[in-house]
Amino acid sequence: MIDRKSSIPYYCQLMEIVRQQIAAGMLKEGQRTPSEFEFSSAYRVNRHTVRQAIGELCRAGVLYKLRGRGTFVAKPPVDLVEYRLSPKNRFTENIRQSGRTPGSRLLAWQEVTAPVQVAEALGLTADERVYVLDVLRLVNGQPFLFSKVYLPAGRLPELADRVADFRSLSVIYDAYGLSPQRVKSVFRASFPGQEETAALDIPANLPVLKVESVLKTQDDVLIEYSVACYRGDFAKISVDW
């Protein structure tokens, strides 16, 4: 119960009570927590105190809210993985160097006319075609990042045959004798879209880091435009430029 003689604010005490209930298994992952009214009645504190405690726990990633449905227990935190962005880094090597196991899945792919933003980034004409690959990257079997990768069809002949047997982007580039390097990357904090929440198995209110990148070949030919979405509760990005 709340210790009314303690100098610790009531909302902090309530936060600790909820944390202890989660640790003891009284509140489980994905379970709906009591309402503000129920917390207020059970611990004899006002609803402002409850709201403050719940808000802080949500900001800490312990709980999350779904509009119209209530507040729920979040997944237990995982150790952050430091992912190093460098001009020529490869995901598999990067993750293995951290002592973890990398994985890649091609979730979907299609050939389309290059969207305006993609055409501008890769120096394509308005009617040129690109392959769009939806790639999920995993670390120790856990979803880590989801990316949309755009590759110019005209610069990678017979790419459809290679995509059908997808293992990783590095394998595809190796087949063409290419060693792409990063031209630029733009970072922005955001919330995930519906496609990203589904692929990464995260709630819609979990912050993510989106990285928009352009790569070129060793012959200075623009070869890739991508938007990668990194889980905010799993990824820590460092830049080696």
Judged against a pLDDT cut of 90, whether residue 53 lies above it is answered with yes
In terms of pTM, does the model score above 0.85? no
DSSP codes, 132-143: EEEEEEEETTEE
The backbone torsions φ and ψ at residue 42, rounded to the nearest 5 degrees and listed phi first, read -70, -35
Q: Is the pLDDT of residue 76 over 80?
A: no
Tell me what pLDDT residue 90 has: 83
The C-alpha angle 74, 78, 79, rounded to 5 degrees, equals 155
Residue 100 and residue 204 share a domain: yes
Range of the domain at 102: 81-239
Using alpha carbons, list the distances in angstroms from residue 177 to 81, 90, 156, 180, 188: 30, 15, 11, 10, 32
**Rounded mean pLDDT of the chain?**
92
Confidence band, pLDDT 50/70/90 cuts, at residue 188: very high
CATH at 68:
1.10.10.10
What residues does 232 pair with on adjacent strands? none
Same domain for 23 and 124, yes or no, is no
Residue 200 φ then ψ, to 5°: -90, -10
51, 73, 95: which is the final residue of a domain?
73
